[in-house]
Every structure is written in structure tokens, then in C-alpha cells.
Structure 1
Amino acid sequence: MTTPDPILASVLQRRVQAISHEMATVLMRSSRSPIFNEIGDLVTVVFDRDGRTLAQTEYASIIANGAQPPLQRIIEYFAGDVHDGDVILHNDVYSGGNQNADVGVFVPIFWRDQLVAWTASKGHVADIGGMTAGGYDPRARDVWQEAFRIPPLKLHDRGELRRDVWDLVRANIRLDIVAEDIKAMIGACTIGRRRIVDLLDRYGAETFDAHMDYVIEASERQVRAEIERWPDGVYRGESWMVSDGLDPTARYRVAVEITVAGSDITFDFSATDDQAPGFTNMPAASAIGAIRIAFLMLVTAGGLSIPANHGVFAPIRTVFRKGSLIDPRFPASTIFGNQMCDEVVEAIMLALSDALPDRVTAGWNQFLCTALNGVDPRTDEPSVSLTIFQRGGPGAMRGADGYDALGFSGTPGSMRSPDMEMFELSTPHLMHYYEYLPDSAGHGEWRGGYGTRSSWTFLGVDEAGTTIGDDVASEGADPPHGLFGGGEGGLNELTLRFPDGTTKAWGSKEIVEGIPAGTVCVSRNGGGGGYGDARQRPPELVLAEVRDGLLSAEAARRDYGVAIAADGRTIDEQTTRRLRQEERA
């Protein structure tokens, strides 16, 4: 039996992490879709033979933390029938998937005729069949209307492509680019397999397994020690989703009860409302991913730096109620589910705000972007795109302002905005501007992150667009909450201006078909909530944002008690002292 060496364990852990990163780099640079190579809506993961996560590169964290459940299903499904050279495809939310548009490729790794590990690539493909190109259609009532379901499916068997299977998959997907992206995912997994085999050739399977076990156990010990510092108790929080894509006035409650007991933590979402009739339901794997994102935010806010692996999440227990908005009953449609990460994270942060005031964030602006599809007049080819550049701001926390224009809580700081010129080159749209939205951040001693404003013209033929998100002002959404005296963040506004001069307020989960060429979309994405008393914020920080054009002089005076001099570049010290003294009085 091998006795683990802590230094070698650290070396091997970093090597496996580097392998997952190389896989992601290969995938992004060899893929065809801008959703992959520009936005990075993808993940790569290395698992052990039993499906435990060893390392992951999480450009899209909601996918990364939801990649392990389908592998468990695959291992069970193909028990005794997994071979060197196999390639397994999967997306089905009713057998472990997090979203049908997030297609996964899983490759077993053999060394000396023994299964030793797995590599996986998973990403949001440009089309996955169903009733609408791109997959997002709020009118979908069941899973068959929204996607081509792929349960565990062998695409390669012992190194040989199964042409019948490949042709079946391609026949159910509109865009050839998706086939090319699947090939890129297979290539990334193949690179990972080669690197792991090289590692085993050097150290052997016994040494590798013993040291990976050591890393996982050490990670679990560190995280459990962190949780033990948290006060034991039962904590409750809730968030609201507005509109279900069918009824814009509908409101759904996402409720959590969190139990902290020693080094264990349970997230129970049983009190969440019943499932929706349309596509706004969240599969369990997606919910698990969202819970893990919030958990990692809380753990790392205490200063713990730790790679994501199986041990990090071992203390977590999750409870869902079958038939609720989270974990709906078959065959409910669910393609919006990933976007509900915002509500899950918000409910968790509110639940723990009093228990862990130094770790929680104020409310995030809930993500709102569009999924667009049509015909590109320059090529006469179909076009599908996501306007991920529409980014709101996250909430502040004690000691730190919210990051500006960070966007979706399901991909914190990792999934990228596309380059605007590449967006224009790859899709039939003309950008007018993309910039920070002034006065959008919730005020506080630590302010929320700023949102953005953007505008573009539709150039395509018979385009259709579906909004994907929440926090739309016209629907009566609640603004992102502030904490401990901090101000609320901003809501979202989305307007279509048609060539005939008419306008339309675009809802949060609404499809608009037949958008004529020349239509202009104007988007305003709000900022996050603030933290703490704004009158405690250093005046020089307020002045800097006024001078940068992020904050108006009126907002500086009203929200921060900071008077800007007539020159617009200095502080009126006397008036500022008076304003702040009056507020304290």
C-alpha cells in the first residue's frame, strides 16, 4: 500500500488541474461556435474511475458543477460495458443533465487494460433540435418540444465511430457547426486522456490513486474545518422569479432552509413553489451546480483557497421536492433552468446574511440576455447567437465593492463577453455601443457592481429572439437587495424599436418572432445591491466615480452625502461635512 507524500500529492493535483486547463484551451481554440470560442460557455473535467471530480476548468461554473451527475448515470448505465476508445454523449436532464443545450462528451481512460479515470468536455451548443433553433422557446410545454434528448449514448465503440449513431444525432440538429463543436469536445477529452496516461506511465496507478485520495480527503478536511467556524443553526431565505414565459405576471418563490450542524451543511429547497407549466423549471443537476457556486463563494470569502474537487463538496447535502420548480416531474420543459441560478444564490445569501455577515453578498442584478436566431443575409445561412455581453452587476460584500458588469451568477468571473467586432462578424447584427450604465450600482460603504447599457441593430432575415432572465422593471420585479443599510441595485429594461417607429418593451422570458431588419434593441442592465452605510464611504472614492462618469453629482449628494464642487472635479468639503452630519443627526 502506497503511503502518500504531501509534496507529491500537491504536484499531482496541480498536474491534473493543468490537464483540465489544457483541455479547455484546446476546446476553445478548435471549436467553431462563438458560444464556445468567444464566450467560453463550457467546462472540462477530470474524474477518477468512480466518477469523483479530481479537477475542473470552469468557464461556465453552473455546467462544471453539474457535470458529475450525468457521469454517475453513465457509469451505472454502461456497467461492465465500458472500453478503451469509447466516447459517450449525453445531455438528457432526466438522466442527470443540467440543461439539454449543455451537451457533454465523456471518455473513459484505460491504463494497462484497467479503467483508471475519465475526462469530460461539456458546453452549450448552438442548437439541440426542438421546436426553435437555439432551443430557447417559452412556449415549450414538455421536453420533446424543446430539445433532442440524448441519454447515455455511445458515439465511439472501442475506438470506432458508430456512423449510425452519429447520423442520428446530426439528423436532429439544425446547424452543422454543432457537429464540429462535438468533434472539438472529443478532441479535448482525447488530449486529457493522453496526458493522464503519460502521468500514469511515470507514477503508476497505485501511486496516482493514493495521492488523489489524499488530495480529496485533505480538501474535505479543510472545508469541514471552515464550516465548523460557522454558527450552528437553521436559516431560511427566499427569492422570487417573475414571469414563467407564459404569464408575465406570475411570481414563483424559491425557498431554502439551510441547516449547519458541526461540519455538515444541508440545503433544503422543499418549500419552493410547484413546477411551472413552461420552460422555467430547474433540473436537480442544475440546482446542485448553483448551490455549489454559492457554497464556494461563502467558503472562499473566508480566505480559504482550494481547488474544486469531490472533497470540497462532500459536506453538502441537498434536498429537493419532486414536482417543484426545482426538480420538476417528467416531462416538464427545463431549458431556462440554468438561469435560475440567480434565484438559488440569492435565497442562500439572504438565508445566511445574519449568520455570516462577513461572507455573504448583497443582491445581484439577475441576468438578462437574448437568444437570437435567423438567416444571415451575407451568407444565406442560419445564425444562432447569445448576447452574453448584456451584463448586470453583482452585489457588494463587507470589505469589497461588487465587480462591475460581471453578469450571471452561474458563471462568476469566468464566462466572457464576446468581442464586439467578432459578434458583428459572426452574426447579422451591428453594435452601436456597449458601456457601463451610470448610477446603476446600489450605494453603500461598499457599492454594488455597475451594470451596462448596449444597443444593436438587427440585420438578419426573419429573426426571432427570446429573452432569458429576470429583474425586468416593466414586469414589476424586485430590485437587487442591499444589506446592512446598503441601497438597492438596478433593474433591467429592454426595448425594441421597429423600423416603422413603434416600440415594444421586451419581457424577461418572451419570444418575439419575425423581427424585421433594421430593428434596434436598446438594453439597460442594472447593477448590484450595496453593503453598509453609504455615508461611511470615503468621499474620494465617490469623487473618483463622478469624475469617471459612473456616478452623477446628484446621486453622489443624495446617496453618499458627498457634494461635488462646481468644477465637477473636486469635493465641496464644507457642504459634504454638513450633509453627513445632518444624516447622522
Structure 2
Amino acid sequence: MVTDQSTAPAATAADIDPITASVLQRRVDSISKEMATMLMRSSRSPIFNEIGDLVTVIFDRNGNTLAQAEFAAIIAFGAHPSLEYIIEYFGDDIHEGDVIIHNDVYHGGNQNADTGIFLPIFTEGRLIGWAAAKGHLADIGGMTAGGYNPNARDIWQEALRIPPLKLAERGVPRKDVWDLLAANIRFGFVMEDIRAMVGCCTVGARRVVEVVERYGLESYESHWEYILDSSRRQVEAEVGRWPDGRYHGESFMTSDGVDPTKKYKIAVDIEITGSDIVFDFSGSDDQSPGICNMPPAAAKGAVRIAFLMLMASGGIRIPTNQGLFAPIATRFRKGSIVDPEFPAATIYGNQLCDEVVEAIMLALADALPDRVCAGWNKYMCTATNGIDPRTGEPFAAFTVFQRTGPGGVQGQDGWDALGFTGTAGQMRYPDPEMLEITTPHFLEYNEYLPDSAGSGEFRGGYGTRSAWRTYGEGQIGVTLADNMAHEGAYPARGLFGGHDSGLNELRVEYPDGSSQEWGSKEIIDQPVGTRVISSAGGGAGYGDPRRRPADKVLAEVRDGLLSPEKARADYGVVLNADGTAVDEAHTAALRA
């Protein structure tokens, strides 16, 4: 039982050594990263060890984030609401040696597949913190292997719903609970991934205890109080420089897995008053009957991602901890697409991060023109599962090399093929050879998609084009995407004269010679020899394209990324006959 929950005494200026505070902050940050490295190297699933669809976090005893390794930021920022609920749920029934598993989206989770392990950290019988690992498990029950099924209509069809549940109690593993989980998960290696998560949390807890023993608990807690307060004060000072006012922005998702042409509005009203900022999503559309509903934990994570982008654009670098988000408040309307009523399906909710971020950027474009980012082309990914004929074993995989492009910002082009806002560019690109070794796929090509970037003084990032063949037995494929051209999607918005983003296209060619467009949220059979052709569009541009230096336009034409026709039409840049130099006279005349 927790023996001491008293608050650490308030630190005074005389108690705090700024150098010690800096060392402690970096030491705990390194612990979170050590945990992530350990998890990737000891896990079985390529989703963990190849892609890095995971996070590791160190919290204080009250559940405040101290440091995190945010390979998938949308998951990282979804860990805090989960722990808040766990602390409330168990109360004083937390003991040294307990290990808790949780994924329930209706009680703090961000996505059922994103399952968390939470381990309380004790020293001398006193709770001093928490170590957590959270990641996308390759299977978590439900009616489809891998968890993604656009035909799901409620939470029970999607996954095994896990409220706070102890895998171990007072250091003793609970065999009944482990067996319950294993009985509802298709792939044996998933249980090994869960054990790897427990292992990395155990190491993280051990490292924190070592730090506390070195510096003393009172010094450790008082310095962390100082660190969190320092982060809060820095952020409040920065937000205090932003213009007060109320700002509105909207973004749209197309297709909910039920109606492929239906559009859903994600709307935000942002109110800035002094150093406080409120993100109100009450004006968003009602929840979807399909899988495209976003739990509040995921929506809060998306808000934090957009907030970090705004801070970073201003050159503000603050460690990711609870103090960083102290000025932020969020509001949601129950029954909306970003706060659905139970038991709505939610497996696609993480991916609405793109729309949340775009709505925020559009809202603040006039207030913070030097901070906002033009629209990122929406998420593009396929998941697949079946039986690998080489081994006779089941497999599940993501083809996350289908990377769309982010938007441009003032002074900087969008990064090429960065992909989903929810991973903030940190989730890794899978090794094509490892994909072919571990799953029955043959990748034909994967490269930048020419002419895909939205034109601008600072262009959007380029998207990618890919093609692969499948040869799994009983293989099915599931799309997890938006911005499909054939569904009539709206492109992501350009800013200040920049052009809108590209759109996405996905086509399937079957062994019998037939073919079809693959919808953004659709499950299909993939017989042996099926070929998939993917075009993931680029991001939107920022600023008038005709202000872009002509030599940059020429360089991209030379590299094969930009066609001479688009260079002329969008950028007003005319090249000589062989395309090796700018025709200065004609370019000046055209741009004039």
C-alpha cells in the first residue's frame, strides 16, 4: 500500500541549484530514451523494432510527465490521461512490484491497439514515480487480426477492451490475467512484446531509483518541482506575447468507412487571453457510425503536437514535460467526432491528428503568420495480415513507407516524405528488405512522387509513390487514409498564396487482370499475386510561388522532382531548351 502521498515541500531559491536541475532533467530524459532503445531491441514485432510505433515515459508520483521518448507523439501525449485514470481507479491500492496494463479509450486511452504498461516506482516503501511504455500492438483481439477493420461499428468489434488491470501484484505475476490476454490475442509474439514493455519499465524504474538514491528524495522532488515550474513560466511568457483574441479554423476528413464520400468537419475556436490558451472543439461534427471517432486523449495529444509546432517555429525549445502544457485547456462536446459516446468505434481516431493540426494552423494563420504551418497532406497507410506461406505462421504488417508530405512554413520548405503529423517525423521508415524478410511482400519501388509538392515560396514536402506485390495466403488488406482523389476529398490548405496539397491515390491490380480504386477506409481480399500501386501526395505550400528563387526551382527540375511545365505554370520560371539553365528574360517577363 502507498505509505506516503504527501507533497514535497515547496522549494525555495536557496534550495535549488540550477546545474543540478539541468543534470536531473537530462538524466531522466536519458532514462526514457534508454527504455525506448531497450524496447525496440527486445521486442518481436516489426511495428516496434522496425517502425518504432511506441513511446516510453517517466512520470512523477502524481502522474505529471517528467520526460518521454516520443517516437509516436500521438501515443506519448496519450499516456498521461491513461495514468490519470489508473491513479484514480486504484487509489491507495498501488504497491511495489505492481504492473498495470491499460488500453480503454473510454477511460483515458487514445487507441485500443496502443496499449500501455504502467509500473509504479518505489523507494523505501514510498511511491516516487511511474515508468510507462505504450505502443501499437500487432493484435489486441477484435473481429480482425491487427485490429483495423473499417466494417467495425462498435468498440467490442475492434479490440479487447482493457480497463486498468494488474499483470503482477506485489512482484508476483498473475498467471490468470496473462492467460486471459493470451487467449484473446491471435499472435504469440504480441505477448512477448508485452513482456518487453514490462522489462523496459523495470529498467526505467531501477534507473530512477538510482538517481533518487544519489541525490536524495527531497532534493530530487524539489528540483523537479523547479524544472516543471520553469517550463511553465517559459511557455506562459511565450504565449503572453501572442495577440489576444478568438480565432476559428476548420478541417475536413472524407469517408468514415460507411459512406466513402461523407465529409466530417473538425472545427476549433481558439481563445488567447494573456498567457492562457483554450482550444474549443465544440463546433465539430457529430460522431461517425464507423471507425473514425477520436477519443479525447488522442485529441488532446493532437493539440499538444500542434502547440509544439508553434513553439518550435518561434525557436522555443523547452523539454517535453508537464509544465510545457500548463497554459493549455481543451474543450470537447460529448457525442462529437472528437469525443464520441460509448460504445462508438474509434480505431481510426489517432489519424484525425492531421485534421486537428490543420484546423489549429488555419485558425492562427493571421495571428501568428510566422509560426503556422501550411497543411500536411492527410495520412496514408495500409495494413495487411494473413498466413506467410514460407513459415505457415500468421503475420500482420503496416506498409508505412507510404509517406505523404508536410506543409511549408515561413523560411522553410516542408520536409519530404515525412508523413503523419501524429508521429512528428520520429517514427521510423521501415527497411524494405526487412518488410520482405518478415512478411510475404515484394516491393517493386518506393521513391519521391514528382510534382506532388504544393507550390509556394516555401513549398510543401514531396510525397511518395510505391508499388508492391503480395503473396500471403488468405491475405487481406485494410486502408487507413484520407485525401483520396476518387472520393472527392479536399486537399490540405496552402497559406498566404501557397498552393494546396496533393491528393492520394491507391489502386489494386488482381491476378485475373481486373483492377479497382482502393478506398481510404476499406478492407479487401488480396489473392496471391495482387499488386498495389500507391501515390501519396505532398504537402501544401506557404507564400506566393513566384517569390521562390529561380535557382531552387531549376535545381528541382534537374533532380527530376519538378516538371518544366509546373515550374513555368506555378513558379513562373522558364528554362532553356535543354532544361539546364533559367531563361532569365522570359522568367522576368512571366513573373512580372
* TM-score of the aligned structures, taking structure 1 as reference length: 0.98
Q: Report the counterpart of residue 178 of structure 1 in structure 2.
A: 190
1:556 counterpart residue number: 567
- 1:437 and 1:261 map into 2 onto residues whose CA distance is 43
Counterpart of 1:27 (choices 35, 39, 50) is 39
Partner of 1:534: 545
Provide the rounded CA distance (Å) in 2 between the counterparts of 1:328 and 1:60: 23
* Structure 2 match to 1:466: 478
Shift of 1:138: 1.1
Partner of 1:427: 439
Aligned residue runs from structure 1 range 339-418, under 5 A? 339-418=351-430
The residue aligned with 2:274 is 262
Q: Percent identity?
A: 64
CA RMSD of aligned residues (A): 0.8
Which residue among 219, 223, 230 is the counterpart of 1:218?
Answer: 230
Q: How does 1:102-501 map to 2 (within 5 A)?
A: 102-501=114-513
Q: Report the AA paired with residue 138 of structure 2.
A: A
- Displacement after TM superposition at 1:574 (Å): 1.9
CA displacement, residues 15-36 of structure 1 (integer Å, 9 cap, x when unaligned): 0000000000000111110000
Aligned residue identity for 2:36? A
Separation in 2 of the partners of 1:292 and 1:480?
20
Cα deviation for residue 567 of structure 1 reads: 2.2
Displacement after TM superposition at 1:288 (Å): 0.5
Cα distance, 1:307 vs structure 2? 1.0
2:562 maps to a residue whose letter is L
Residue 11 of structure 1 corresponds to: 23
Amino acid at match of 1:307: P
Question: Any idea what SS the aligned residue of 1:210 has?
Answer: helix
Cα distance, 1:324 vs structure 2: 0.7
Deviations along 1:150-189, whole A, 9 cap, x unmatched?
A: 1000001111110000000110000011101101101110
Q: Distance in 2 between matches of 1:33 and 1:356?
A: 42
Letter of the 1:457 partner, please give it: R
Deviation at 1:368, TM superposition (A): 1.1
Q: 2: CA distance between counterparts of 1:18 and 1:183?
A: 22
- Secondary structure of the residue that 1:65 maps to in structure 2? helix
Confirm or deny that 1:64 pairs with 2:76: yes
2: CA distance, partners of 1:482 / 1:260: 24
Shift of 1:575: 1.6
Q: In 2, Cα distance between the equivalents of 1:324 and 1:471?
A: 21
User: Secondary structure of the residue that 2:78 maps to in structure 1?
Assistant: coil
The whole-number CA distance in structure 1 between the counterparts of 2:435 and 2:492 is 29
Q: Give how far 1:569 is off.
A: 1.8
How many correspondences in the alignment? 580
Instruction: Report the CA distance between 1:568 and its aligned residue.
Output: 2.0
CA distance in 2, matches of 1:55, 1:355: 31
Alpha-carbon separation, structure 2, partners of 1:320 and 1:523: 35
CA offset digits 1:326-371 (Å, max 9, x no partner) = 1101111101000010111011111001110000011110011111
Structure 1 portions without partners, runs of 5+: none
Separation in 1 of the partners of 2:47 and 2:582? 45
Per-residue Cα deviation, 1:313-332 (whole angstroms, up to 9, x for no partner): 11110000111101101111
How many angstroms apart in 1 are the aligned matches of 2:591 and 2:283? Answer: 43
- Report the alpha carbon displacement of residue 148 of structure 1 after superposing the two structures with TM: 0.2
For the residue of structure 1 that corresponds to 2:122, the secondary structure is: strand
Give the AA of the match of 1:395: G
The letter of the residue matching 1:553 is P
2: CA distance, partners of 1:180 / 1:572: 62
Partner of 1:521: 532
1:505 equivalent in structure 2: 517
The one-letter amino acid paired with 2:251 is: S
* Distance in 1, Cα, partners of 2:376 & 2:457: 17
- Cα distance, 1:300 vs structure 2: 1.5
SS at match of 1:499: coil
Partner SS state of residue 453, structure 1: strand
After TM superposition, the score normalised by the length of structure 2 is: 0.97
Q: Secondary structure at the match of 1:410?
A: helix
Give distance in 2, aligned partners of 1:64 and 1:416: 15
Query: Residues of 1 paired with 2:246 and 2:571: CA distance?
Result: 35
1:579 to partner: Cα distance: 1.4
**CA distance in 1 between partners of 2:143 and 2:486 (Å):** 28
The residue type equivalent to 2:371 in the other structure is R
One-letter identity of the residue aligned with 2:551: E
